[in-house]
Chains A and B, each alone.
Chain A
Amino acid sequence: MSLVSATRPAHRRESSSASAEAPAWWATPWVSVLLSSVGLLIHADVSYLENTKGSASDALYWLSLMLLFVPTAWQVSLRRTSATARTALVVMCGLALYVTRILDYPTVFAYHDELIHQNNLRLIDSSHHLFAANSILPVTSFYPGIEIVANAVQSTTGLSQHISGEIVIALSRVILMLAGILLLSTVLGSERAGCFGMLVYMANPQFLFFNSQFSYQTLALPLAFFCVYLIAHPVRGPFAVGIGAIALGVGALTVAHHLTALAFVGFTAAWLLLTRVGAKRSSADREYSGAPALLPWAVGISTIELIAWSAFTYPRIKPYLVSIATHSWDSVVVLFNGHSQQLFANPVGPPTPVWERATSFASVAAILIALAFSLTALARARFARSAGMFMLAAVAAVYPIIPLGHLTNAASEVADRSSGFLYVGLGAVFVWWFRRFLTSRNLTASNRRLWDFGALIFLALIFLGGTVVGSGPTWLRTPGPYLVSADNRSVDRYNLATAHWMGEALPARAHVFTDRVNGLLDSTYGRATIITHAGSGIDMRYAAGLLLAGPNLPRDTAIINAIGAQYLVVDQRLDESLPGVGEYIEDGEQPVAGKPTPIPSEAALQKFNNYPGVDRIYDNGEDVIYTLGGIR
């Protein structure tokens, strides 16, 4: 029994006309492969120009992405393309989009979450044990799924942490793409539809950026897809083998990421409930709405594993989740008070171009219209009574929270992250509706091609729009010149040199107080314990004065004693602008709640040169390290 129904035929492999006539050379899958590789070369050129000249053409950037996506979508749409080629092309497209991230940062992890998890990986590598304290985000070391796999790759192959991490992300991407294609193929009844559904999925705002980072959700999401696949298509063999495989997959998922594991339990429980309700409502529908045999087991096992692991991680996970919930709720309250976040607001770097804003609005509008049509059609169809399809439709119906979530700052992050789940539903309902629409009309071959072309335009639009929404501010997409507290754009040669020097010259676990990006780098490469609110529970509004407020020796001495700082790293460029991500050090630093931190003065950044008992032990032109031992 699959996700959908026993009465529906097993999914077909649509390559019927492949044998009839050989495609013209320009219609073979290899042309898509070649165009994708041209796209990658253009992307590499953009990255090279950004790194060496500080700017590159936006048009080239978008051209590179479209070359990766559109030819593949076009090839998938051709009826003569074989099922194997279709699946391989969609998997390749997912991998190629991920490779663009490697081309942007081929030597280091540069994003906030990536550096946190690389630090976990370093801690495992140095201590040979899990759960070592991560001073920046302690909860992450208690969900070490991606780090364990990366450590296995690193230990056995001798490759660097960065390359090992990239291998694990690529592996995750293969799992995600294959599980997605096979699940959607099962639900929709054809491989071609499954591949199309996955192309819709690839338009989700998180696909290109967030879900290709070295972060726990990057592995957890594919594992969740994989576990659903194991429920729908149990491993061949005795019943116990199928249950064992699910227990293994769900166990790994639970250890990999808290919220994804929770979402999986919720999804499978709702799926099971629906099948039970469906079976009660109509005996005729019992078979149609029936659950896979392993579903009840999966619900039970995943619930037990989630509770057991959460009990172990409770002291760490509770404050983290409470803080996310509080922030999201506060931002919703602010929204209801009439203060919404300004869309495309960007304190540093160039503003988002008008055409990109227009594209993102157009893509949201297109998705909402298509969603309305497809859900209406689905509600009228008997197919909607299939528990699996109903679940996917329900997931798709939640889509409006993504654009609405962008009205507030904290909720936008939560909404965006949910897109990794919601777009599976969108993929399923859009493709189901489109196929039904085509079959309900007696279209000629040329008309059918026209509609296929229209579908291609729709896919390209939502991919472009989703990528604009998911990329955030323009500077977040690619490397380029330094920007103040702007994650990847603040990871530059000065900050990297400081961190590497620290790793060689200072004792491990030295207590360091510094800004957000130097903190990430100094913990990862410098082996330092960074003093943060999340890690040490300090009052960041008070402690931030050490770095950001003007000279005041008694106050700064009191802060140093209170937080136990041994070293201070000052990036002297912090006074150039407001922070790109909204904070110089950590959330909570703002002197007035709800208002941005003011730009620190030059005097604030230079004050330690004149404090007695402070040694200035390192200087690379932009970063300075002070020892604070003599000031106590």
Chain B
Amino acid sequence: MSVRLLRFSPPLAFICAVWAPSGLRSTMVGVGVIATLALAADAAVRWDRAVLLFCGLLCSCTILAGLLLNLLPSGLTRVSWSISAACGSLALLSRRRQSPPIWRIPRLNPLSTAMAISACVLVGAALVLSNRGAQKADAAPLALWLATSPSGTSAFALSSTPQLVDASETCGTSRPRDLGPVDIPARTQTTLPRLQACDGKLVVQLLDVATHKQLRLVSTTS
């Protein structure tokens, strides 16, 4: 493919990314950005300077483009950003007359290759490990809440782990009414048994099945 045709590929990637499925979008944009850098690079400029100029001007142009897009009624949207990226890429590449430089990938000996692959595997393992730790730490706790609608008040519970709890409700000064055991599946919003109409203060509690210790409590006044 000639350079003249090749330089239309990054803008095309940015535009197509608007309609691409979400999983593919980031890949298309990433390829578009890297292709723009590769095609726009000047053979006379060393890689470090080329990368610095590209990244620095990319950030600067993006910020100023953001200010301009803000003036449009539609503002900063996926479409306006994609069109801006395509225009920017086209403007940059349309000035090019000569072929892009050939970026040589350094040739590695087997030992260096093994070390490079090992390094990638270790970094990947590090990311997976830290993600697992964070997911364990951020597991949502058992939560109880009330929502009021014209048809009445409802109570909901949610937890990241399956829970079996007892529920009860109290209206005003009357004795608590047992709502029975409630099975709360993991990560599924559970509606508690229908609450009775109450003129005074309605209190809903979740209790530990074994000890009947109060776990959660919400209340509302009609």
List the one stretch of B51-59, B178-186, B190-198 in contact with chain A.
B51-59
* B118: interface (CB < 8 Å): yes
Q: Are the C-beta atoms of A106 and B141 separated by less than 8 Å?
A: no
Q: Which of B1-42 contact A (CB under 8 A)?
A: 14, 17, 22, 25-26, 29-30, 42
Indicate whether A104 sits within 8 Å of B216 (C-beta atoms), given known contacts A37-B119, A179-B56: no
Contact, CB under 8 Å: A41 / B125: yes
CA distance A203 to B59 in the complex (A): 26
Query: Which residues in A have their C-beta under 8 angstroms from that of B215?
Result: 621
- Decide: A617 and B145 in contact? CB cutoff 8 A: yes
| Nearest chain B CB to A267 CB, angstrom units | 17
B145 touches A505 (CB 8 A): yes
**Contacts A37-B126, A107-B138; is A148 near B119 (CB within 8 Å)?**
no
Name 23 A/B residue pairs within 8 A (Cβ), A-sorted. Answer: A30-B112, A31-B115, A34-B118, A37-B122, A40-B122, A44-B129, A44-B133, A48-B133, A106-B127, A107-B134, A144-B66, A145-B63, A151-B66, A155-B77, A156-B14, A175-B59, A178-B51, A229-B52, A230-B56, A252-B61, A479-B134, A616-B217, A618-B145
Candidates A28, A37, A178; contact of B112 at CB < 8 Å: A28
Residues of A within 8 A of B30 (CB): 157
B75, A617: Cβ atoms under 8 Å? no
Q: Mark B95-116, 1 if CB is under 8 A from A, else 0.
A: 0000000000000100110011
Write the B48-86 contact mask toward A (1 if CB under 8 angstroms, else 0): 110111011111111111110010001111100110110
Provide the residues of chain A in CB contact with B82, threshold 8 Å. Answer: 155-156
- Near B by CB (< 8 A), chain A positions 118-154 give 124, 127-131, 144-145, 148-149, 151-152
Q: Which residue of chain B has the shortest Cβ distance to A479 in the bound complex?
A: B137
Cβ of A128 and Cβ of B52 under 8 Å apart? no
Quote the shortest CB–CB distance from A361 to chain B (angstroms).
32
Q: Does B64 contact A156, Cβ atoms closer than 8 Å?
A: no
Considering the chains assembled together, what is the distance between the CA atoms of A104 and B126 in angstroms? 11
Interface check A451, CB cutoff 8 A: no
Given contacts A37-B122, A105-B134, A157-B17, 14 further A-B contacts (CB under 8 A): A108-B138, A145-B63, A148-B76, A152-B85, A155-B76, A156-B78, A156-B82, A158-B22, A159-B26, A219-B59, A226-B52, A615-B220, A616-B219, A617-B146
Query: Interface extent on B, as a size class?
Result: 35 or more
Which residues of B have CB within 8 Å of A219? 59
Q: Are B57 and A245 in contact (CB under 8 A)?
A: yes
Q: Is A84 an interface residue (CB 8 A)?
A: yes
- List residues of chain A with CB within 8 A of the CB of B220: 615-617
Does any Cβ of B come within 8 Å of A52's Cβ?
Answer: yes
Whether B122 pairs with A248 at a CB distance below 8 angstroms is no
User: Does A338 touch B at the CB level, under 8 Å?
Assistant: no
Closest A residue to B147 using CB positions? A505
Whether a CB of chain B sits under 8 angstroms from the CB of A14 is no
Tell me which residues across on chain B come within 8 A of A622, comparing CB atoms: 141
- A72 contacts chain B at the CB level, 8 A cutoff: no
Q: In the assembly, what is the distance between CA of A492 and CA of B42, in Å?
A: 49
In the complex, what's the smallest C-beta–C-beta distance from B74 to chain A, in angstroms? 7
Which has the most chain B C-beta neighbours within 10 Å: A500, A617, A622?
Answer: A617
- Is B74 a contact partner of A128 (Cβ separation < 8 A)? yes
Asked if B92 is at the interface (CB within 8 A of a chain A CB), the reply is no
A interface size (C-beta, 8 A): 93
**B62 in contact with A148 (CB, 8 Å):** yes
B203: min CB distance to chain A, Å: 9
* Residues B127 and A236 in contact, CB atoms below 8 Å apart: no
Q: How far is the CA of A175 from the CA of B221 in the complex (A)?
A: 58
Cβ contact within 8 Å between B66 and A148: yes
State which of B47, B56, B136, B139 has its C-beta within 8 Å of the C-beta of A84.
B47
Whether A34 contacts B115 in the complex (CB less than 8 A), given A107-B135, A128-B74, A151-B76, comes out as yes
Across the interface, which residues of B come within 8 angstroms of A47, CB to CB? 129-130, 133-134
Tell yes or no: A494 within 8 A of B by CB: yes
A622→B142 CA distance, assembly (Å):
10
Residue of B nearest to A105 (CB): B134
Given A127-B75, A130-B76, A106 and B131 contact (CB-CB distance below 8 Å): yes
Taking beta carbons and an 8 Å cutoff, which residues of B are in contact with A?
14, 17, 22, 25-26, 29-30, 42, 44-45, 47-49, 51-53, 55-67, 70, 74-78, 81-82, 84-85, 108, 111-112, 115-116, 118-120, 122-123, 125-127, 129-147, 215-221
Q: Residue on B with the closest CB to A620?
A: B143
Contact residues in A for B78 (Cβ distance below 8 Å): 155-156, 158
What residues of chain A lie closer than 8 Å to B218, measured between beta carbons?
616-619
With A34-B118, A103-B127 already in contact, the answer to whether A618 and B56 are too (CB < 8 A) is no
Cα A584 to Cα B85 in complex, Å, equals 44
B77 vs chain A, min Cβ distance (A): 5
**Contact among A174, A236, A616 with B51 in the assembled complex (CB-CB below 8 Å):** A174
Partner of B70, one of A129, A157, A236, A609: A129
Contact A149–B139 (Cβ < 8 Å): no
| Distance between B88 CB and nearest chain A CB, rounded to angstroms | 11
Assess the A251–B141 pair: CB atoms within 8 A: no
Across-interface contacts of A171 in B (CB, < 8 A): 55, 58-59
Query: CA A48 – CA B136 in complex, angstroms?
Result: 9
The complex places the Cα of A51 from the Cα of B138 at a distance, in Å, of: 9
Closest 3 pairs between A and B when the two form their complex, measured CB to CB? A148-B66, A128-B75, A48-B133
CB-CB contacts below 8 Å: A26-47 with B: 28, 30-31, 33-34, 36-38, 40-41, 43-45, 47
Q: How far is the CA of A18 from the CA of B70 in the complex (A)?
A: 52
Question: Which A residues from 183 to 204 make CB contacts under 8 A with B?
Answer: none
Q: In the complex, what residues of A have CB within 8 A of residue B67's CB? A: 130, 148, 255
Q: Out of A151, A179, A182, A497, which one reaches B140, CB within 8 Å?
A: A497
A102: chain B residues within 8 A (beta carbon): 127, 130
Residue of B nearest to A157 (CB): B26
Assuming the A-B contacts A37-B126, A106-B127, A479-B137, are A252 and B60 also in contact, with contact meaning beta carbons closer than 8 angstroms in the complex?
yes
Instruction: Report the separation of the CA atoms of residues A625 and B134 in the bound assembly, to the nearest whole angstrom.
Output: 25
A28, A45, A156, A618: the one within 8 Å of B129 (CB)? A45
User: Within 8 Å CB of A594, what residues of B?
Assistant: none
Nearest CB in chain B: distance from A24 CB, A: 11
The reply to whether B219 and A615 contact each other, CB–CB distance below 8 Å, is yes
Q: Is B64 a contact partner of A251 (Cβ separation < 8 A)?
A: yes
**Would you call A615 and B56 a contact (CB within 8 A)?**
no
Shortest C-beta distance, B158 to chain A (Å), equals: 8
Return the CB mask of A485-498 against B: 1 if under 8 Å, else 0: 00000001110110
Give, as a whole number of angstroms, the nearest-CB distance from A133 to chain B: 15
State whether A129 and B75 are in contact (beta carbons under 8 Å apart), knowing that A38-B122, A103-B130 are contacts in the complex. yes
Contact assessment for A223 and B25 in the assembled complex, using a CB-CB cutoff below 8 Å: no
Contact A43 B63 (CB under 8 A): no
Q: Which residue of B has the minimal Cβ distance to A491?
A: B138
- Inter-chain contacts of B112 with A (CB < 8 A): 28, 30
